[in-house]
């Protein structure tokens, strides 16, 4: 069993002690569908819990491996001396526990992009101008001449959302994917997501102009716990929605490989997913676009590779990367493309 602890500096100003959100986002990204408190936060000073207390909680919870990440920008005295000394004391106190200490945030390409956005915002540029300049930078730094024009807005928006140019080479599109997605949007069909974070990020104003809505069943009262046959809540939510809603046009999966595998199972022939009376109970006369980009190390890449071999419309990426930002970027790109055509 493994826990991760994010270490913040801490401040006498209570509002500044807010790395809990970063901890929750990290937990969702690397442990989708996990209900355990396996990503914790602690502070070096001025705030609670202290590092030693967070370590103690992990050990008493039966954890045998603790990864400690200093949520600092540089390797100053706190990172190179103060925190390592606390870890050394913990190693002596808990000899049966393995401690791993990571590098701080440091200088990273993605942080540079964040700084650029802050600069543009401080100069009074409106959000649309910041986004426009960001897309210009992406076009300046990468050659897109080999990308089909219809795929370009989606690939660029994914790169913009992740600051990761690798997606240019890993994103895969079924030949009918973009048309299917845009047709679904323009027909007022709904978008089904695996988790609430994906639902939250989708541009509902653009979707509502066409009459569609975004739905997610993971918080449904019937799905608050895992099922007895080991189905995840995201998987059960997707399955239930597909059986009950005949107006789904896009399925966006950003975190749960199990949900994507369930969709593939439902949509697998002998009966196509877009025919009445399909094997999974998908009662619709029109094709459904599956955006499958779960992130992680367990079943994520495997589920996306399986999706890439299907005959129904899909958009995916063949790597371990993915997650909520990628799923949201793909759907929002389709929404903006539909709006521009309108």
Q: Which of 69, 160, 174, 223 is catalytic?
A: 160
Q: Which two tokens stand for residue 6?
A: 């994010």
The answer to whether the peptide bond before residue 301 is cis (omega within 30 degrees of 0) is no
Residues 45, 228: Cα–Cα separation, whole Å: 44
For tokens 């059960």, the residue is 236
Q: Which two tokens stand for residue 26?
A: 């990290």
Among candidates 285, 274, 340, which has minimal Cα distance to 312? Answer: 274
Based on its alpha-carbon atoms, the radius of gyration of the chain, rounded to whole angstroms, reads 22
Among candidates 160, 192, 186, 158, which has minimal Cα distance to 172? Answer: 158
Q: Which two tokens stand for residue 94?
A: 């808990």
Strand ranges for the chain from DSSP E:
2-8, 39-43, 65-70, 98-101, 171-173, 190-193, 214-216, 248-253, 289-292, 314-317
Residues 282, 249: Cα–Cα separation, whole Å: 11
Q: Which two tokens stand for residue 266?
A: 């439902």
230 — alpha (psi -120 to 50), left (phi > 0) or beta? Answer: left
Does residue 160 have an active-site annotation?
yes
Number of residues that make up the chain? 342
Catalytic residues: 160
């Amino acid at each position: 069993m493994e826990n991760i602890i994010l270490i913040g500096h801490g401040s006498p100003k209570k509002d500044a002690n807010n790395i809990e959100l970063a901890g929750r986002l990290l937990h969702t990204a690397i442990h989708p569908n996990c209900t355990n408190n396996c990503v914790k936060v602690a502070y070096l000073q001025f705030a609670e819990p202290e590092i030693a207390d967070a370590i103690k909680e992990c050990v008493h919870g039966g954890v045998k491996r603790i990864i400690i990440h200093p949520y600092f920008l540089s390797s100053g005295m706190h990172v190179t001396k103060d925190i390592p000394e606390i870890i050394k004391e913990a190693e002596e106190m808990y000899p049966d526990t393995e401690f791993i200490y990571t590098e701080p945030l440091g200088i990273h390409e993605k942080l540079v992009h964040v700084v650029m956005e802050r600069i543009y915002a401080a100069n009074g540029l409106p959000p649309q101008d910041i986004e426009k300049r960001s897309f210009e930078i992406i076009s300046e730094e990468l050659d897109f001449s080999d990308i089909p024009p219809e795929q370009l807005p989606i690939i660029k928006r994914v790169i913009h959302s992740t600051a990761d140019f690798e997606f240019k080479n890993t994103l895969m599109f079924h030949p009918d994917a973009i048309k299917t997605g845009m047709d679904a949007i323009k027909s007022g069909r709904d978008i089904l997501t695996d988790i609430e974070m994906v639902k939250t990020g989708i541009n509902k104003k653009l979707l509502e102009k066409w009459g569609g809505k975004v739905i997610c069943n993971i918080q449904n009262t019937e799905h608050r716990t895992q099922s007895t046959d080991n189905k995840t809540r995201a998987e059960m939510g997707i399955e239930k929605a597909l059986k009950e809603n005949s107006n789904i046009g896009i399925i966006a999966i950003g975190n749960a490989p199990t949900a994507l595998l369930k969709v593939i199972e439902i949509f697998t022939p002998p009966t196509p997913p877009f025919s009445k009376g399909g094997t999974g109970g998908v009662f619709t006369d029109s094709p459904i676009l599956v955006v499958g980009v779960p992130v992680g190390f367990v079943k994520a890449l495997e589920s996306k590779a399986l999706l890439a071999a299907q005959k129904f419309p899909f958009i995916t990426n063949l790597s371990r990367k993915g997650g909520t930002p990628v799923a949201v970027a793909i759907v929002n790109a389709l929404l903006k493309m539909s709006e521009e055509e309108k």
